[in-house]
Amino acid sequence: MNGGGCHMSGGGGDSRVGESGSRPTITLEDLDTFNEDDFDSDLRSSNGGPDEENNAMEEEGQDRLLNYWQDIGRGHHVEVPQDMAQPIQQLTSDTKNTTDREKVPFTLVTCKDNCGNVQYEKRVYKKASWACITVREDTYEQSICAGFMKLMRYICQQNTTGNYLGMTLPIVTVVRTDDSRSSLSRDVTVAYYLPSQHQDHPPMPFDPDITMETWPATVVYSRSFSGPTTETSILGEIHALGEVLDSPELCVSESFIVAGYTSPAAAHRHNEVWFLERC
């Protein structure tokens, strides 16, 4: 998880910049109110016997979930292809109770607060296996969407086990800034922490753009923030964390991590920005 832990100059994703089309773009607020259980209730009232009902529910549920993601993708000029229907359905089902998701383990060293408000946490993350993909799109949001979709395919059976690996939290992106921290590099690395049962022997991806990497033990300075992750908001959070650190010179100056604990499509997101302590 150091500055060179992911291949920041690697290849890009295969998503294409798309047109908005004639369908209205659903807002993030609309998506945040989406409830898969409501879809299930609608389908149960309109279908026949149990077997037919279950099959129809699964197929129609996948299509409707895919349509939601496609509408969100259009808003970011990212194409969400038809073959993403099953991965999206699997991950959506898995997100119903995020408290059961495995989180990247760490040891809390110190917590600095000001009048009860946490300024930052100093943590130690152990050596671990991550699946990474570096994407270069026109905007940060396009890059994380494209990278995350590729990782979704890997998590959902496109790996050497042929099984769904399960989601972990957070999904992280490695970003670089210029010397003045006024802009982000177009190369963004999206990374997925392998669940504990796969840490020693990570399943290999079918996608050659995804690399399996071992990140060394790392000291991280973490600051929480909410809302969408855009280039503007990330640069603002980087500056905010730099201002409250006692010794910002200890941290990598051009490479940072954004950790996301909620779906990229969620209206109310829980995020963190991480500074990595120099070795």
Q: Is residue 74 in some structural domain? A: yes
Q: Is residue 10 part of a domain?
A: no
Same domain for 133 and 256, yes or no, is: yes
Domain end residue (candidates: 55, 72, 94): 94
- Count how many residues are written for the chain: 279
Residues 112, 32: one domain? no
Q: Which of 69, 94, 119 is the last residue of a domain?
A: 94
Q: Please indicate, yes or no, whether residues 237 and 141 belong to a single structural domain of this protein.
A: yes
C-alpha count within 13 angstroms, C-beta hemisphere, residue 211: 17
For residues 260 and 172, the answer to whether their CB atoms sit within 8 Å is: yes
In this structure, the answer to whether residues 62 and 126 fall within a common structural domain is no
Instruction: Check whether residue 153 and residue 234 sit in a common domain.
Output: yes
Helix H, strand E, coil C: the string for the chain is CCCCCCCCCCCCCCCCCCCCCCCCCCCHHHHHCCCHHHHHHHHHCCCCCHHHHHHHHHHHHHHHHHHHHHHHHHHCCCCCCHHHHHHHHHHHHHCCCHHHCEECCEEEEEEEEECCEEEEEEEEECCEEEEEEEEECCCHHHHHHHHHHHHHHHHECCECCCCECCCEECEEEEEEECCCCCCECCEEEEEEECCHHHCCCCCCECCCCCEEEEECCEEEEEEEEECCCCHHHHHHHHHHHHHHCCCHHHECCCEEEEEECCCCCCCCCEEEEEEEECC
Tell me, yes or no, whether 7 lies in a domain. Answer: no
Looking at residue 95, what is its pLDDT? 52
pLDDT at 196 (0 to 100): 96
Q: What is the CATH number of the domain that holds 176?
A: 3.20.80.10
- Claim to verify: residue 234 and residue 148 sit in the same structural domain: yes
- The domain boundary, picked from 38, 71, 94, lies at 94
Residue 19 within a domain: no
For residues 158 and 204, the answer to whether their CB atoms sit within 8 Å is no
Q: What is the pLDDT of residues 13-46, one digit of tens each?
A: 333 333 333 333 333 333 333 443 443 344 333 3
- How many other CB atoms are found less than 10 A from the CB of residue 162? 8
Structural domain count, the chain: 2
Query: Do 175 and 248 belong together in one domain?
Result: yes
State both tokens at 125. 């993350």
Q: Please list the pLDDT of the chain residue by residue as tens digits (279 residues).
A: 544 433 322 333 333 333 333 333 333 333 333 443 443 344 333 344 455 555 555 566 667 766 766 676 666 566 666 766 666 666 666 554 555 678 999 999 999 998 888 999 999 999 999 999 999 988 888 888 888 889 988 998 889 999 889 889 999 999 998 877 888 888 999 999 999 999 999 999 999 999 999 999 999 999 999 887 888 999 999 999 999 998 877 777 678 999 988 865 566 678 999 999 987
pTM above 0.75, yes or no: no
- Which is nearest to 111 in space by CA: 240, 193, 270, 224? 224
- On whether both 193 and 236 belong to a single domain, the answer is yes
- My answer on whether 170 and 58 are in the same domain is no
Same domain? 62 vs 129: no
Question: Do 59 and 177 share a domain, yes or no?
Answer: no
Q: Evaluate whether residue 20 is within a structural domain.
A: no
Are residue 163 and residue 78 in the same domain, yes or no?
Answer: no
In which domain, by residue range, is 222 found? 98-276
